[in-house]
Amino acid sequence: MSDTVGARPRLYGRSKGRPLRPHQQRLMDELYPVVRVENQPNMSEFKEVWMEIGFGGAEHLLHLAQGNPETAIIGAEPFLNGVAKAVGGIHDFGLKNLFLHHGDARDVMDSFSDHLLSRLYILFPDPWPKSRHNKRRIINEAFLEDVSRVLKPGGTLYFASDIIDYVDWTVTRLNQNGRFSLVIESPSAWREPYPGWPGTRYESKAIKAGRPCHYLKFRHAA
Ligand SMILES: C[S@@+](CC[C@H](N)C(=O)[O-])C[C@H]1O[C@@H](n2cnc3c(N)ncnc32)[C@H](O)[C@@H]1O
């Protein structure tokens, strides 16, 4: 596997699991092109635009889209089987507000207008725990510059992780960036899932393994 994708370091591992079932493949061939972010001329008919990066099995993404029909929800994920799950959900629940990018979130963010997003969710991102792999963490200086451009002033970045070192890393880098402030609603808020939280596959793996999860919120200043 190459260490770079174009000019950027590669941030993710495998992008395919088991072969798709025929029904899933059909939806990828027919419905994915319709809901692909790049094929939406504009999203101005929606009240707000929110994005989730690395939605994995799409549990949280589908929950967001179902609960917020007036908001455009964008999901980016390079793992084909996850994208097929999201497309299956769009079909089964008749969702009209969920748009997908099968690939690296950074590529689709490049096409966004400034301050498009009111919310950005990054939930249990790949922790890349070995120090020689830390550079693959999605939270890095260049990425935060991109986030700063596409997130509205006053918008919210949600970051959840079960890896305490990655939580520290993220708080440090957001502080260094200078345009994000940690929202502390109560002394224990960062140990409690966000309101209405449906859970995700990686969160339940962490809980089963006895790793405490952390749920942070950062407000974007400008
Ligand atoms: C540890 S999994 C967590 C999945 C899900 N959020 C959850 O909580 O179950 C991290 C996910 O981020 C995705 N990912 C990694 N780098 C990414 C990138 N640059 N853009 C979009 N997704 C990415 C991976 O493919 C993987 O599905």
- pLDDT for 129 equals 85
- pLDDT for 2 equals 62
Nearest CA to ligand 1 atom 1: 126
Residues within a 6 A CB radius of ligand 1: 11-12, 53-57, 76-79, 82, 104-106, 123-126, 138, 200-203
Task: Give tens-digit pLDDT for 157-191.
Answer: 999 999 999 999 999 999 999 999 999 888 888 99
CA of 58 relative to ligand 1 center, distance in Å: 10
Is 126 a residue of the active site? yes
- Strand-pair category, 71-77 with 98-102: parallel
- Taking the C-alpha atoms of residue 123 and residue 125, their distance in angstroms, rounded to an integer, is 6
- Residue to mutate, 3, 8, 12, ligand 1, most ligand atoms under 8 Å from C-beta: 12
What are the structure tokens assigned to 103, written together?
Answer: 């690939």
| Half-sphere exposure (Cβ direction) of 199: Cα atoms closer than 13 Å | 6
Task: Give tens-digit pLDDT for 17-37.
Answer: 889 999 999 999 999 999 999
Q: Structural domain tally of the chain?
A: 1
- pLDDT for 1 equals 56
Q: What is the DSSP string of 118-180?
A: EEEEEES-----SGGGGGG-S-SHHHHHHHHHHEEEEEEEEEEES-HHHHHHHHHHHHHHSSE
Contact 138, 104 (CB under 8 A): no
- pLDDT for 4 equals 66
CA of 30 relative to ligand 1 center, distance in Å: 24
- pLDDT for 103 equals 96
- pLDDT for 159 equals 98
- Taking the C-alpha atoms of residue 100 and residue 205, their distance in angstroms, rounded to an integer, is 25
The enclosing domain of 116 has a CATH number of 3.40.50.150
CA of 164 relative to ligand 1 center, distance in Å: 18
Length in residues, the chain: 222
For the chain of 222 residues, list the mean pLDDT of each consecutive stretch of 10: 68 80 97 96 91 98 98 97 98 98 97 97 94 92 97 98 96 97 89 95 98 97 77
Catalytic position from the list 126, 162, 165, 168: 126
- pLDDT for 52 equals 98
- Taking the C-alpha atoms of residue 81 and residue 111, their distance in angstroms, rounded to an integer, is 24
- Strand-pair category, 4-5 with 8-9: antiparallel
Nearest CA to ligand 1 atom 13: 54
- Taking the C-alpha atoms of residue 182 and residue 175, their distance in angstroms, rounded to an integer, is 9
Which range of residues forms the domain containing residue 27?
Answer: 4-220
Burial class (CB in 10 A: 0-12, 13-18, 19+), 33: exposed
